[in-house]
A and B are shown apart, each in its own frame.
Chain A
Amino acid sequence: MSTTADSTATFELSPELEKYGRQLREWSVAELRPRARTADTEKKNPDDWDAILNTCPVPLGRPDRDDDERPKFEDGYWVSQLVFYENVCYGDLWALPLLSPGIGHLVVAEMGTAAQMETWYASAMRGESVSGFALTEPHFGSDTSQVATTAVRDGDEWVLNGSKIYCTNGARADWVTAFATTDKTLGGKGIACFVVPTDTPGFSVPKPNESKLGIRNWMTSELLFDDCRVPLGNRLGWDATGPADTSQMSGQHGALAALSNNRPNMSAMVIGIAQAALDLTSDLLAERRSDMSTRRWDAASNDIARMNAALDRSRRINFKAGFVIDHGAKNRYSPAIAKAFAPQTCDRIIRRCMQLLGAEGASKDLLLEKWYRDCKIADIFEGSSQVQRIIVAREVVGRIAG
């Protein structure tokens, strides 16, 4: 097809990024997929996870190594992230928490001073520390104004009290960004964020991992802050003497902004899994072609084409979300559409794949049933699809949308 000279728009990735993605995908299938079933059953990473990750032919950006930085691509950082998440999850997603520094540093990026960026953000980006994001409490998740964990100033320290649940990586993090209220009467505006190193006295992990539907080897931890003291300067936006010169963003806004940037990554994760399910199903059905009537073969083929088209649609909005952040023209709706669409669509794709294969499609002999259980989380954490719809509606009609 010929293109006019001034048409530069394209969804094509640079050959370098394309190749990086392909290598990740092949490695993920070869090395991660064979360990997926055991990670699920035993609810933990394989003991030799370090050796497994060492087999990757391309850098993974591991937080536990300083010689493993991910390459930079001209497509941009956030777009490259999407390619990373999709392809590394194509084999299976069990290793993902080992490959990401968490999302605490993203909060630092939104709310921290230059000095805090240097200490916490930079160390995460260099892969030297793993962080947890501690916002959710038993009585709330979506409504972040309900933070009940308190932070009280005592001289040159902040004293934190309260408990947090469902903190991804909590039990293995080096530090967590804990959201706490300094003044309950202020509601959301009274919420601040504190960097709490996990060896701080008064910090503990009463429950390292919950018993879950899926992502069973991921640590989903309960955290307890019991008179947990951190220096004044561990409050984001502060230094050792008090408030420093930053954008004055509240903890609630900081949390939401950090989540917003990560949402397309979570969509890319489930796109990778759903694509894996679809490819596997196409292959298995092809082997059965001779056993199927033409009518049913055609119906199944049409379904597979529709599912592939839906995944491409998920990728386009995801790339748009990444592209606009990379180009400093971030909007609220792109990541929200991306995260409202992909998780539910991918659940349905995996379910349809199992259905097309009949009852054996849902057997533990295959990974489809695991992927179906894993995938469901993407529509719950980091903002449910209901919350995403509210964000999109507000884009169109303003705050009156509830």
Chain B
Amino acid sequence: MLNLALDGDQQDVVEMTRDLGAAVLSPAAAATERGGAVDPAAWQALCGSGLTVLLSEDLGGDGIPSTVTQMTALEQLAHGDPQATIAAAWSGSAALFVSEHGSAMQRAALRDAAVTGPSHRGAVALYESAGSHEIATTVETDGARVRVRGRKVAVPFAERADTMIVLGRDPSNHELRAVVVPPGQEGMTVRPRAGSLGLDATEQAVVDFDLELPVEHLLAHEGLGLTVARHRLILAAVQTGMAQRALEYAGDYASQRIAFGKPIASFQGISFLIAEAFARTEQARLEILDAASLVDDGAPEDQVTAAVDAAVSYASENAAETTRNAVQVLGGHGFMTEYPVENWYRIAAFLSTVDFDPLASAFQPAF
């Protein structure tokens, strides 16, 4: 039976995360951007919410929320600050991989690692030059050893992650594999961080792997595809929360700014831009909800992957275009760093490069 209503708990989560976004994350966003590192108070609040570091109860966490709940929460948090939110969610996602797929020993190590503490950082090394598609990194098991070879991009907290999960494929059967790589592991080379168009507080970098570890570092691979799908949806949810914020911001501005004797919101050249942004953002939200519910239902992996591919592509395209519209609506002011829209414009475009698939959309000129 079709049901699009959030349950009572989910509604509470929405309220809590929206408040946290407005009261804590949004006011700290400028400091996070300026400093190139997530504001400590914002980080603490995010980790304390139980919605970024996903840890099962036996590991001292709050339990693992459903994918639907998680994505709904991340969208609200990103409405406050997309940068701090994705930094914390990407970091916390490493704990989910261990919670879901770790051996007793790996889980015990995680429990002892104080993952919700202020200085703990996690990383999931998934993306490559071709996004999450055509993963070329190999994870080969040979008796008691596992060998990891490949190159990952946009690895968050690459230089200092305490828990690093590396995704690759087993060349013998092309199946997904995940390995826990200890900090400072020999054979792991972090390229110097040059900085990017945006999102520098995620401290992301390119990492080369050519290393061998005892096979105990391998995570169990049953259901790994679903966890990867869930991880990829983080990006889509953050893009969508940011798009919502940007279009609201542009809408407020357009209601105040006067040109040709009227608020510019009264011109269809502006109101249609905002309407389309809102419409696309709502559709992106539903697409994420659909994909998230498939993950929660444990739907067949092919079906989940197709749904996530589509949701990620649409959410990123929407965020890039919606934040552009927001800059546009603010005119010259939108181009100035005193206003937050130019930062959202950079973040959305940066994120749109991370999990991109040329097969999912085609270039379109202005008209």
Can you offer 7 A-B residue contacts whose CB atoms are under 8 A? A296-B357, A313-B365, A351-B349, A358-B128, A362-B349, A363-B194, A381-B332
Please tell me if A380 contacts chain B, counting CB pairs below 8 Å: yes
For chain A residues 71-110, which have a beta carbon within 8 Å of chain B? Answer: none
> With the chains together, A32 CA to B76 CA distance in Å?
44
Please tell me if A253 contacts chain B, counting CB pairs below 8 Å: no
For chain A residues 338-394, which have a beta carbon within 8 Å of chain B? Answer: 340-345, 347-349, 351-352, 354-365, 369, 372-373, 376-377, 379-381, 384-386, 389-390
Residue pair B335, A212 in contact (C-beta under 8 Å): yes
Please tell me if A20 contacts chain B, counting CB pairs below 8 Å: no
> With the chains together, A106 CA to B328 CA distance in Å?
26
- CB A219 to nearest CB in B, in angstroms, measures 14
- CB B190 to nearest CB in A, in angstroms, measures 14
Residue pair B359, A295 in contact (C-beta under 8 Å): yes
Find A288's partner among B129, B153, B352 (CB 8 Å cutoff). B129
> With the chains together, A347 CA to B335 CA distance in Å?
14
Residue pair A212, B154 in contact (C-beta under 8 Å): no
B-contacting 9-mer, from A54-62, A138-146, A324-332: A138-146
* B129, B328, B357 interface centre (most CB from chain A within 10 Å): B129
Flag B109-134 by CB within 8 Å of A: 1 or 0 each: 00000000000000000011111011
Flag B191-209 by CB within 8 Å of A: 1 or 0 each: 0001111100000101000
What's the tally of chain B residues with a CB closer than 8 Å to chain A?
A: 52
> With the chains together, A349 CA to B356 CA distance in Å?
15
* Known contacts A211-B337, A358-B128, A358-B354; is-contact A341 B365 (Cβ 8 Å): yes
Residue ranges of B at the interface with A (Cβ–Cβ < 8 Å): 127-131, 133-134, 136, 153-154, 194-198, 204, 206, 258-260, 267, 269-270, 320, 324, 327-328, 331-332, 334-338, 342, 345-346, 349-350, 352-354, 356-359, 362-367
Please tell me if A210 contacts chain B, counting CB pairs below 8 Å: yes
Residue pair A340, B366 in contact (C-beta under 8 Å): yes
Interface residues of A toward B: which range?
35 or more
Closest to B153 in A: A359
Q: Given the complex, which residues of A lie within 8 Å of B320, measured CB to CB? A: 351
Residue pair A166, B332 in contact (C-beta under 8 Å): yes
Q: Given the complex, which residues of B lie within 8 Å of A300, measured CB to CB? A: 358
Residue pair A376, B335 in contact (C-beta under 8 Å): yes
> With the chains together, A345 CA to B365 CA distance in Å?
5
> With the chains together, A146 CA to B258 CA distance in Å?
10
* Known contacts A291-B129, A348-B363; is-contact A356 B196 (Cβ 8 Å): no
For chain A residues 227-258, which have a beta carbon within 8 Å of chain B? Answer: none
B-contacting 9-mer, from A5-13, A111-119, A170-178, A302-310: A302-310
* A136, A214, A386 interface centre (most CB from chain B within 10 Å): A386
Q: Given the complex, which residues of B lie within 8 Å of A376, measured CB to CB? A: 324, 327, 335, 345
Residue pair B259, A140 in contact (C-beta under 8 Å): yes
